[in-house]
Chain A
C-alpha cells in the first residue's frame, strides 16, 4: 500500500514513497514539513488547505497524495522568489490588510493565484466566485478583495 510517486513541487522534482491513504495535505504538512498549507476543517469546507495542482486550485485535504503522481504542485512555500522577495499576491495581501490572524491566508493566496493565472483581469464578482471556498473569519473579506485587485495591477500572475 505504498506507492512511489514523482511530482514537481514548487519547481523541485520530488520522488516520494507515499501510503495510498495519505491525503496530499498530510504528505505536505506531516511528512514533508511544509506547514504553510493549513488544515481548517479537513473536509473541503474552508479552503485553508488550498494548493494548486496542474493549475487548478484544489483542497489538499480531499486529494489523495498518490494522485499527485506526475503532477505539478504549487504551495504557498513556492511563491516567494528564492531571493526572498514576496510574490506580488503575497505583497499585496501584506500591504492591503488582507491578513489578520493569517490562518486562512496561504489558502486564500493560492486560490487567488490560481484565479489570476487563469484570468489576470478578474473583476470583483469573479474574485468573489473564485474565493467562495476560502473562509476567513477575521477580515470580512473586503481587504482580501482589495488585495487581489491590487495584485492584479502588480501583475500577480504567471505569464
Chain B
C-alpha cells in the first residue's frame, strides 16, 4: 500500500530484525535464561495489607531453613537506599506499608522452591490502618493520610499551567463543551517478566544483568546504591540480556534490582530474582489512572478558542516517575490542534493503590482520550463535520504552539486524509455501524526531560569492511539495532549485515538517557549517523590521497570506495581499510559521536521546545455495536502516521500494529481490577489482552515528511501507535449508536448501560 522512498540502498528497506534468527531458534538469552555457577535465587515478600504498620517481623524460622543464605527486612536496607522520582521509596519498607506491593522482606536460597518456602516462614505482625483508594476522596480534608508526615495526600508537585487567557476566550466562544472522563490502570504485560541477576567480584565491583530500558541511568542509580551500602569508589557494570518487551516498564530502577544487589552482597554470590506472572502483575507499575475534566470551545467558524483541563492522577503509595507524566500530557493538551488559550492543572494524589510508571505514551493516551472525544462532542455541538472540524484546527509546519513547541515537519492533514480515504466517513453505514477518528501529536525528536537528552555512539571498522557500533541506545524488541545498522550501512555504503550493533553493556557502550519518549530512532540514530559520517570523512580523506582526487568526489556504495565515472579509481572497502592499516604510521578507522539534540528543558513556566520535532498521526476505526449485548466489534482500523522517514518499513509497521492492538486493549478490554488496593486479576485469563482471534484488520498508511533534523529524515514512532486508539473507538461507537462512553475500558456492560439509558 505504501510507496517508500527508493533513493537509498539500505534505508527504507524491510530488512529483517538482526537478532530475529537467533530468537526464532530459541537461542536468545533473556534474564530468565541466565544461570551462573553458585547462583542463588532471591524472592520477595510483599505486604499483606494496603496500609498497615509493621509491629514485628520474625525471620528466625526462615533463616533456619536449610538452603537459605540470607533473609533481609527493612532494617537491613541502608537508610539512604531509596528509589523513585523523589527518592521516597526504600526497596524494603519498615515502619508502615502503603500498598499491597510494598516489599517487606526478601530471601536468597539455593533454589526458587526453598526461597519460596522461606518466605512462608517469615512471621509478620501488622496493625492494619485505614486505607484510601479513591484519589478524589483522598484530596478531601478528613481523608486518611497515606504518609502521615506529609500532612496531605496531594503531592507537592503541582502542575499549573496557563497560556493566553482562557477565561476571556471562553466568554468569547460561540460553543463550549464540558465533560468528565476517566481512565483506569492498565499494565505493560511484557511477555518476558522482570528480573535481575546481581553479583560482586573480588574487589566488590558490581555487575548486574537486568532488562532495563535505561542502562546509563540505572548505572547511576546502582552507583548510588553501592554508596549507600558504604561501597565508595566501586564500579558498576550494567548488562542487558535480550529484553522480552519494554513498553516503558523498565524506565526506572526497581526494588527487585536493589534487593538482588543487597542479597548478592550479603551472600557474596550471584543472586537472581525473576518475577513470576502474578508478581509481574502485582509488583510492577501500571499506566496512571486519571480523572479528567475538560472544557473547550470554538468560535462560529469552528476555530478552537480555548482548552481548559484539570486532572487528578492516582499516585499510588509512592512517587515514581509516573508523577511526571503531566509534563507529556501537557503536549497534546497545549498543542494537539491549534489552540491559543490553554489551561492545565494536574494533581497527583497519594492513595494506597499500586503506583504507576511510564507506559507507552507516557500520559498521552489518557490526555488524548479526553481531548479527541471532546473534539467530536464540540464539532457536533457547533455543527461541523468531524473531519472538517479537525482540518480547520490542524497543526501546520512553522507553527509555534502556546507551549513553545516548534512544529517543523507536520503531516497531520495528510494523515487525516488517509483515514478519510480508507473509511469514507460519508455517513452511509449500515445500522449499528459507525466510524470514528482521532489524531495525535507526540515527541518525535527526543524529549529533554533530564539535563541531557543525548546518546553516544562509538564506531570501529575492521580490516574487511565490517563495522562494530557501540551505541547507548537500547533494543527491547522494537528494532533499534536495525535502525542503527541501516543508518550506518547507508552512510558507509555497506549492507546492514555488515554492521554489528552492540548495545548491551555499560562497560563498552557510551551514555544514553534511555529508550523512552520514542526518541531512539531520532537520537540514537543521529548519534550513529554522526559517527558514521566521521568515519566516512576519514575514508574519503584516505582515498583522496590514494586516488588523487578531492575528497568530496569520492563515494561509498556496494562495499566499494570509488570515484563515479572513473573505473580505475575504485576499490573494495576492505582493501582500502587494509591499505590504511598495514603500513608504517598506519591507522584503523574509528570514530565516536555524542548527539544531544537542540531541544529545550521546560523551565518553571513549563514552556519550551522539548523535542526537535513532533510526530503526528490520525487513527480511524469502523466498529459495529451489538445493541443487545453492548459488545463492540472493530471491523476496520486505519492508523496513519507521519514518521518523517521509514528507515525500515517492516519494523515500522510492526510498531504501529503492535501499538494499535495495545491501544485497542486499552480502549476495549484491558483493566487491572483493583479492590481496596488489591489487584484481583493478576493473570492473563482475567487481564484481557487481545488474542490472535481478537486481532483486527489494520491498515497503516505511512506519511513521509522527511524531517530536516531526523536521521535520513526519520522521527520517532515507538509510542504513537497506541495514543489515539481509545478516542477513535469511542468516537466510532458514538457514530454507530449515539452513546458516548467516557470511561475506559469500553466494556459491553458500559455500552449496554448507556444504550438503555438513552433508549429509556
Contact = CB atoms under 8 A, between A and B. Distances in A.
Given A43-B277, A94-B20, A137-B245, A38 B32 contact: yes
Q: Which of B14, B23, B26, B698 has most A Cβ within 10 Å?
A: B26
A109 B20 CA distance: 12
B419 interface: no
Given A101-B477, A102-B20, A103-B244, A135 B689 contact: yes
Contacts of A127: 692
A95 B13 CA distance: 12
B25 A41 contact: no
A99 B17 contact: yes
Contacts of B630: none
A102 B477 CA distance: 7
B654 A132 contact: no
Contact of A143 (B29, B30, B657, B660): B657
B242 A45 contact: no
Given A76-B25, A86-B24, A109-B24, A139 B657 contact: yes
Nearest to A41: B277
Given A46-B684, A144-B692, A101 B190 contact: yes
B190 A93 contact: no
A60 interface: no
A136 B193 CA distance: 13
Interface residues of B, number: 55
Contacts of B658: 100, 137-140
A36 B244 CA distance: 13
B247 interface: yes
A23 interface: no
A99 B24 CA distance: 8
A133 B16 CA distance: 25
Contacts of B684: 41, 43, 45-46, 135
A14 interface: no
B507 to A, nearest CB: 24
B461 interface: no
Contacts of A35: 26, 29, 32-33
B242 A100 contact: no
B657 A90 contact: no
Contacts of B17: 94, 97, 99-100
B32 A102 contact: no
Nearest to A92: B24
A46 B30 CA distance: 17
B695 interface: yes
B650 interface: yes
Interface SS of B by simple majority: loop
B693 A132 contact: yes
A140 B657 contact: yes
Contact of B695 (A43, A76, A128): A128
A128 B693 CA distance: 5
A141 interface: yes
Interface in B474-502: 476-479
Contacts of A138: 191, 245, 477, 654, 658
B724 to A, nearest CB: 15
Interface in A81-139: 86, 90-91, 93-97, 99-106, 109, 127-129, 131-139
Nearest to B637: A140
B440 interface: no
B28 interface: yes
Given A45-B684, A103-B245, A132-B691, A75 B26 contact: yes
A38 B245 CA distance: 14
A96 B654 CA distance: 10
Given A101-B190, A102-B20, A141 B692 contact: yes
A80 B24 CA distance: 9
B26 A45 contact: no
A76 B692 contact: no
A82 B657 CA distance: 34
* Residue of B28, B191, B690, B698 with most chain A CB atoms under a 10 A cut-off: B191
Interface string B590-619: 000000000000000000000000000000
B18 to A, nearest CB: 10
A106 B22 CA distance: 11
A79 B21 CA distance: 12
B189 interface: yes
Contact of A48 (B21, B191, B662): B191
Interface in A32-51: 34-43, 45-46, 48
Contacts of A34: 26
Contacts of A134: 692
B683 interface: yes
Contacts of B692: 127-128, 131-132, 134, 136, 141, 144-145
Contacts of B685: 45
B27 interface: yes
Interface of B: 14, 16-17, 19-30, 32-33, 188-193, 242-247, 276-277, 476-479, 650-651, 653-654, 657-662, 683-685, 689-693, 695, 698
14 contacts: A41-B277, A79-B25, A94-B21, A96-B650, A99-B20, A102-B242, A106-B26, A131-B692, A137-B245, A137-B247, A137-B689, A140-B695, A141-B690, A143-B654
Given A34-B26, A86-B24, 4 more contacts: A76-B26, A135-B189, A141-B690, A142-B698
Interface of A: 34-43, 45-46, 48, 75-77, 79-80, 86, 90-91, 93-97, 99-106, 109, 127-129, 131-145
